[in-house]
Structure 1
Amino acid sequence: MSSLVAYDDSESEEEPSPQVDGGAAATFHTDPAGFSSPNLTPSHSGSLSKQTTIEHHRWVTEQSSSSSLVHPKHEHWDTEYYSERKDRHFTDSSAAIGFPANQRKTGPVQPPLCLPKCVTDASNPAKRQHSAMSGIRPYIPKRQRLIQSEEADGTQNPSEQVSGNQTRKGPVLTDVSSRVKHYLGEKTQAAGVPRKLLMSLEGHQGPVNTVQWCPVPHISHLLLSASMDKTFKVWDGAESGRCLRLYTCHSGAVRDACWTPCGQQLLTGSFDNTAVITDVETGQPTVKVDNQFKVMCVAVHPSSPDVFLCGGYSSVVKAWDSRCCKAVKAYKAAIQQTLDILFLSGGSDFITSSDCVSRDSADRTLIAWDYHSTAKISNQIYHERYTCPSLALHPLEESFVGQTNGNYIALFSSQMPYRMNKRRRFDGHKVEGYAVQCDFSMDGSILASGSSTGTAHFYDYQSTRVLHALQAHRQPCLSVSQHPVLPATAATCDWAGEIKIWN
């Protein structure tokens, strides 16, 4: 049987596209699957071939709004028909892409994707680009997406919340904040009391136990935070509020963290029984020691930075030498755990705070040790039945303070016999069992403390009166750190994992 449909075998490459005129005119219709279908409109009588009849029936059916399905009688032939056309005309396999199913009815009609050369030249890249399907987004490389994300984050207002996941890849110690640089050449100003929120840093998924500014003046814009989510971070706390480095050296909660005197390393203690010294720039641990107990507090020797102390859920405080990674000294006492460690001026003596609160525990709450001989110098320092979760040393005078669970801060002399000043105490805040920390300003004129009520209290050191009570957080405020260079600037953290910068 002869067919009225002619394919490539009977067409010439020089022939123009078929036009509709009298007689048997062939026009191409693009179906929703992206293929062209010939539609023959005969002007003479005669029987059409099987292929022509079914193709015309399919086109009429799809144009009808009542149904878009091929008659089941012709479903098998329809598959063979398109398979045959694919073998003949699909010279470029990558162009044989159909529209999604949800666009077959309502989607716009697109130009034919793969037709004989008389209709579309598939070898022409310009025409292939013109016939590209709508709704398909071009691929964007991952590196370009990261750059676009950082540029979008850079336009964010620094006074708003800053996510801690936006970790910047770049140098940390080489950058100097312009805001801090402005105060480096000037005479040290009197410390002030912060009163307004500068920025809020969010990124930790657990309580933040401590925050601490870098002690080196020219990089004092760096802020260290340690959290119960097993991580500790370094932030730009002066300008952008961006998280500069995320450190994941521990498998347990990070209970305490501090800077080394050079500002290039971090010392952390964790509930995974380890203490780690980490390089700030690379983020790689340089020293890692196992204490065989949960570490709650760490302290670097002020005159020998290679030596650090670790205390925690043990009756022993260990001294480690980072050069050989060995415990060089051990300080034993009849206690169950050590809450905090504080080196006094010079580093020849240090104070430890324990959790002893029994009837005869007055001789074990605060203990003064000789660093070199590991002997107890004094154990009759604090005679009240309250634990001291944190200690702080005055930067100029021979004194230190102890945060107590009696909802006040006690003042002690740092010279033997380390007596408590019963006439001066700083009260007004609440502790209520939290490890609330306190901190002195660089000139020693202001003592700051957190509170279980979420407030940050600022006391005048000489008069012990409250200068200002800042409602910083909704959850208990665990730490307040005053900036060593910028006046009236402080960082606070709370039990919910939030960090705020105040000015």
Structure 2
Amino acid sequence: MVYSQSTIRRYPQDLSLWRVPTGYAAETFISEATFRQGHRAIESGTSKKRKRENKGDVGIVDGAGAYKGPWARYEAERPDAASDEEFGDDEEVEIVYEEDEIEENPAPAPKKLAGTDYQDTEALGETSEFVGSEQYDYQGRTYMHVPNDLDIKLTGDRGEAKNFIPKKLVHTYKYHTKSITQVRFLPDSGHLLLSASADSKIALWSVYGNRELLRTYSGHTKSVNDIDFNPAGTQFVSASYDRYMKIWDTETGKCLNKFTTGKTPHVVRINPSIPHEFLAGMSDKKILQYDTRSGEMVQEYDHHLGPVNTITFCDEDRRFVTTSDDKSLRAWEYGIPVPIKFIAEPYMFSMVRSAPHPSGKYIAFQSSDNQITVYSSSDRFRQNRKKSYRGHNVAGYAPDVAISPDGNFVSSGDSGGYVCFWDWKTCKMYHKIQASDAPVLAVQWHPRESSKVITGDLNGVLKYWD
């Protein structure tokens, strides 16, 4: 037998002999390439002779045909007595060669419940439950009816109402078990509140009266990323990490339609001017436009180089602006899949949340470098260098940014548990509220009340401030 010089040692008494594990070998001259070739031939020859038992079926835990996988023994190592006992005399044991273990087209493994999943990731049936005290009032109306017996007018023209900074906690809503990802007031009236959470649930709350939990919406199997009402508030769309986007009826809780491309939607926005269409920003860099009536995708916007984070309608909903993890901003004409504006500067960071200014002239973006930046939403889409709101910490999180209905205040969550308020004109921080001991991720202004703000934190707690 020939041994490589790297595996043997010279025997000191006789310079012509080499000490090897099995004795001594005479010195001979052989090239490294020849040695490697012979070594491979011997190794492949022994591997062909070694046979293994069948790996078994992954669906069988115990008994005949149970899954052995990489622990399947070699035929030579299996004692005859054990094989007779274990498999029986009349049962055939399929033997496979070791080199045959890699299959060209293996059958997919049965779908099992992953240890970190909430439940099986297949889309389950959607359910909704009314959990409030009274589903109908004395006139047979549901909670969708706007109350008119309050000291504030929730319908009609809002007028020149002025906003103020909230100072005290009014109410705490508790139902969710994981982080709040988004909150939305019912458009126009604001007498209902919708919350989405990482516990895969969506909840509807009453803002007035006993401020109770009214309805829960279940059907997503993973964290819900985003929610958005249609202009009338009768329906809303939800997006989740289970890769589904679903249209829900706010009043009945029925799931009206669901959409998926196999990719994760990060943000969804219903077009306020075309309520039966919505946009979805996806993890595969695309923005998809869906028609909820036909259930089909009608347009695809594919120019970003990273997952899409924000979608903001502007110019009377004829255009929209998107931002992405590629640290760029793009503006689009609605329905035309070519950007009309592209902004990517070396100093820009990825912008993770957005809010349009009530005037319709600006959009505020939560930037990952701990500031809120402002861009014009007109033809030029330029950054307003004079407006930068700092003093809060958002790195590692994506806290929401919201602008008061009168346009005078900018508010944002903070990773330290604060809600921060800035003056829109001067960019100075007015006030900071310690809203939680966990990061505050969601914040929204009430559309009608002068100083009401809702916040949602990483612990799943919603707090209502006045």
For the criterion TM > 0.5, the same-fold answer is: yes
Where 1:500 maps in the other structure, the secondary structure is strand
Distance 2:445 2:174 in 1: 19
8 Å CA contact 2:130–2:214 kept in 1: the answer is no
1:462 to 418, 425, 448: 425
Shift of 1:392: 0.9
8 Å CA contact 1:206–1:227 kept in 2: the answer is yes
Where 2:196 maps in the other structure, the secondary structure is strand
Distance 1:441 1:383 in 2: 31
Q: Deviations over 1:361-382 (max 9, x none)?
A: xxxx211122222111111265
Shift of 1:165: 10
Matches within 5 A, 1:174-323: 174=145, 176=147, 178-179=149-150, 181-182=152-153, 184=155, 187-217=159-189, 220-323=190-293
8 Å CA contact 1:168–1:245 kept in 2: the answer is no
Distance 1:367 1:462 in 2: 25
Q: Deviations over 1:406-455 (max 9, x none)?
A: 11100111112211111221111110121111111111111111111110
Shift of 1:350: 1.0
Do the aligned partners of residues 424 and 334 (structure 1) sit closer, same or farther apart at CA in structure 2, a change above 3 Å counting? Answer: closer
Shift of 1:174: 2.2
Distance 1:316 1:224 in 2: 27
Distance 1:397 1:494 in 2: 29
8 Å CA contact 2:148–2:154 kept in 1: the answer is no
1:402 aligns with 2:365: yes
8 Å CA contact 2:131–2:215 kept in 1: the answer is no
Distance 1:181 1:240 in 2: 16
Where 2:274 maps in the other structure, the secondary structure is coil
Do the aligned partners of residues 354 and 472 (structure 1) sit closer, same or farther apart at CA in structure 2, a change above 3 Å counting? Answer: same
Q: Deviations over 1:121-160 (max 9, x none)?
A: xxxxxxxxxxxxxxxxxxxxxxxxxxxxxxxxxxxxxxxx
Shift of 1:386: 1.2
| TM-score for the superposition, normalised by structure 2 | 0.68
In the alignment, residue 195 of structure 1 is paired with which amino acid? K
Shift of 1:278: 0.4
Q: In the comparison of the two structures, how many residue pairs are matched?
A: 331
Residue 160 of structure 1 corresponds to none
Residue 331 of structure 1 corresponds to 301
Do the aligned partners of residues 301 and 212 (structure 1) sit closer, same or farther apart at CA in structure 2, a change above 3 Å counting? Answer: same
Do the aligned partners of residues 182 and 329 (structure 1) sit closer, same or farther apart at CA in structure 2, a change above 3 Å counting? Answer: closer
Do the aligned partners of residues 383 and 302 (structure 1) sit closer, same or farther apart at CA in structure 2, a change above 3 Å counting? Answer: farther
Distance 2:432 2:143 in 1: 33
Where 2:450 maps in the other structure, the secondary structure is coil
Do the aligned partners of residues 211 and 382 (structure 1) sit closer, same or farther apart at CA in structure 2, a change above 3 Å counting? Answer: farther
1:471 aligns with 2:434: yes
8 Å CA contact 1:275–1:291 kept in 2: the answer is no
Do the aligned partners of residues 244 and 224 (structure 1) sit closer, same or farther apart at CA in structure 2, a change above 3 Å counting? Answer: same
Moved more, 380-389 or 205-214: 380-389
8 Å CA contact 2:439–2:457 kept in 1: the answer is yes
In the alignment, residue 400 of structure 1 is paired with which amino acid? I
Distance 2:333 2:146 in 1: 40
As a proportion of its length, which structure holds more helix? 1
Where 1:306 maps in the other structure, the secondary structure is strand
1:492 aligns with 2:447: no
Distance 1:276 1:241 in 2: 26
Q: Deviations over 1:371-402 (max 9, x none)?
A: 22211111126552411111111111411111
Residue 314 of structure 2 corresponds to 344
Where 1:379 maps in the other structure, the secondary structure is strand
As a proportion of its length, which structure holds more strand? 2
Matches within 5 A, 1:37-76: none
Matches within 5 A, 1:100-139: none
Residue 375 of structure 1 corresponds to 338
1:391 aligns with 2:362: no
Unpaired stretches in structure 2, ≥5 consecutive residues: 1-128, 136-141
Distance 2:248 2:227 in 1: 11
In the alignment, residue 445 of structure 2 is paired with which amino acid? Q
In the alignment, residue 189 of structure 1 is paired with which amino acid? A
Distance 2:398 2:210 in 1: 29
8 Å CA contact 1:312–1:338 kept in 2: the answer is yes
Q: Deviations over 1:94-117 (max 9, x none)?
A: xxxxxxxxxxxxxxxxxxxxxxxx
Shift of 1:175: 5.1
Do the aligned partners of residues 262 and 401 (structure 1) sit closer, same or farther apart at CA in structure 2, a change above 3 Å counting? Answer: same
Shift of 1:302: 1.9
Distance 2:437 2:148 in 1: 30
Where 2:364 maps in the other structure, the secondary structure is strand
Shift of 1:332: 0.4
Residue 46 of structure 1 corresponds to none
Residue 323 of structure 2 corresponds to 353
Unpaired stretches in structure 1, ≥5 consecutive residues: 1-163, 358-364
8 Å CA contact 2:315–2:360 kept in 1: the answer is no
Give the greater-gyration-radius structure (CA). Answer: 1
1:450 to 413, 417, 424: 413
Do the aligned partners of residues 314 and 390 (structure 1) sit closer, same or farther apart at CA in structure 2, a change above 3 Å counting? Answer: same
8 Å CA contact 2:164–2:450 kept in 1: the answer is yes
In the alignment, residue 249 of structure 1 is paired with which amino acid? G
Where 2:278 maps in the other structure, the secondary structure is strand
Find runs of 4+ consecutive structure 1 residues off by over 6 angstroms.
none
Question: CA RMSD, aligned part only?
Answer: 1.9
Shift of 1:335: 1.6
Do the aligned partners of residues 246 and 168 (structure 1) sit closer, same or farther apart at CA in structure 2, a change above 3 Å counting? Answer: farther
| TM-score for the superposition, normalised by structure 1 | 0.63
